[in-house]
Amino acid sequence: MSSASSDPILEIDLLAFESGDAAGRAAVVDGVMRSLTTGFVYVSHDVSEDLIDTAYGMLEEFFAAAPDEKARFVAPGTHGQTGYTGLLVETAATADVADWKEMLNWGRDIPEGHPLGAKYPHRYHHQVLPEAAVPGITEVLNTFHDAVFDMQRRVLRIIAVGIGCHETFFEKMLVDGPTLSRAIHYPPMASAPDAPHVWAGEHGDINLITALPRATAPGLQVKLKSEGTWIDAVAPEGRAIINTGLMLETVTNGMIEAGVHRVVAAPGQQGDRYSVVQFCHPTPWTILSPVVSCTSADRPQRYAPISAADALDLVLYEINLIEDAR
């Protein structure tokens, strides 16, 4: 585990937890829990750099297509959970101005006849990917999704130990959950209406944890709640950024709060920014409720139980992704 002395976001070694001795594992857990007071941690990983390069190349090719070509891959009625989402659609829950970004969203299909699909048809959609525009992109993006999900699953094992639960606490709720990958293209700010410097407004994610293996330019900033200040989040080479979401905040009774962040262009910054983030979600029928190990006389229960499905639907409404509610 390492970090620049001035950086409250720490760097931890995922493999040291999985293959280390008891003392090594404990050090990783301690580092993760200390870093997550910011809502963020940098994680070494084994996702192939070649795979990341290939995925980014194909995604840039798609986003460079003409608007009417990209519009072919909009998936109406899916609330931004698959297919293409255009500029100035998603809005941070605390913002009045839509984000200056366009997105491609995808996940993994579940088997036909799965009870999750029958119970939550609005959560599980047939994936819409631009295979016709960029041949081969479907296989690459699905492989990318699976690799990042495996990393997220393993990070949650560390967090489970850190909050006093069994290492496998999150495992079952992740199986066939609607984990969502989202490729984001932030166009040059000079082309934005009125040229503001904010690409994406201040917000916290809804899910358990979010992973960002790499971005093509700086811009991600983290809000330090204790000080009310913003710091840049730039992962060391070969590291992924992990941030916490509101569902994890509920499960931990606020012991781990959602990481508040935004994406901004520095003054004078030129060019586009591309990133791929992945939101790790539990199954919709998971009941999110504070675990016993995170409640005490000094930390009374703050959150009432809510299903993951209901929690997500509320946030999708708040950020303007439910089409017929606009």
- Ranges of each domain in the chain: 11-325
CA distance 297 to 32: 25
Q: Is the pLDDT of residue 220 over 60?
A: yes
Per-residue model confidence (pLDDT) at position 315: 83
pLDDT at 201: 83
- pLDDT value at position 269? 76
Please compute the mean of the pLDDT values over residues 3-23 and round it to a whole number. Answer: 86
Residue 251, token pair as written in the block: 């499960």
Of 261, 258, 257, give the one whose Cα is nearest residue 222.
261
- pLDDT tops 60 at residue 39: yes
Look at 288 and 273; give whichever has higher pLDDT.
288
CA contacts within 13 A on the Cβ side of 121: 3
The CB density around residue 181, as the number of other CB atoms within 10 Å, is: 23
How many Å apart are CA 187 and CA 70, to the nearest integer?
Answer: 15
pLDDT at 228 over 90: no
Q: What are 277-323's pLDDT values in tens digits?
A: 999 999 999 999 999 999 999 999 999 999 999 998 888 777 665 44
Domain covering 11-325, topology: Jelly Rolls (2.60.120)
Residues 316, 15: Cα–Cα separation, whole Å: 35
DSSP tag of 294: G
CA–CA distance, 61 with 51 (Å, rounded to integer): 16
In 3D space, the residue among 55, 9, 68, 16 whose CA is nearest the CA of residue 35 turns out to be: 9
The answer to whether 42 and 14 have CB atoms below 8 angstroms apart is no
d(CA 256, CA 237): 26
Task: Write down the pLDDT at residue 44.
Answer: 92
Distance CA 310, CA 73 (A): 27
Confidence bin at 4 (pLDDT 50/70/90): very low
Mean pLDDT, the chain, integer: 89
Task: Please determine, for residue 326, whether its predicted confidence score (pLDDT) is greater than 60.
Answer: no
In whole angstroms, what is the distance from residue 243 CA to residue 13 CA?
16
CA distance 309 to 208: 13
How confident is residue 221, by pLDDT bands cut at 50, 70 and 90? very high
Provide the 8-state DSSP code for 91.
Answer: -
* pLDDT for res 114: 94
Report the 10 Å Cβ neighbour count for 148: 25
* pLDDT at residue 101, rounded to an integer: 84
Strand partners, 44: 13, 239
- Please tell me what DSSP assigns to residue 111: P
Rounded to whole angstroms, what are the CA distances from 135 to 61, 68, 131, 179? 11, 18, 5, 24
CA quadruple 41, 45, 50, 55: dihedral positive or negative?
negative
Q: Is the pLDDT of residue 192 over 60?
A: no
Residue range 100-151, pLDDT digits in tens? 789 999 999 999 999 999 999 888 889 999 999 999 999 999 999 999 999 9
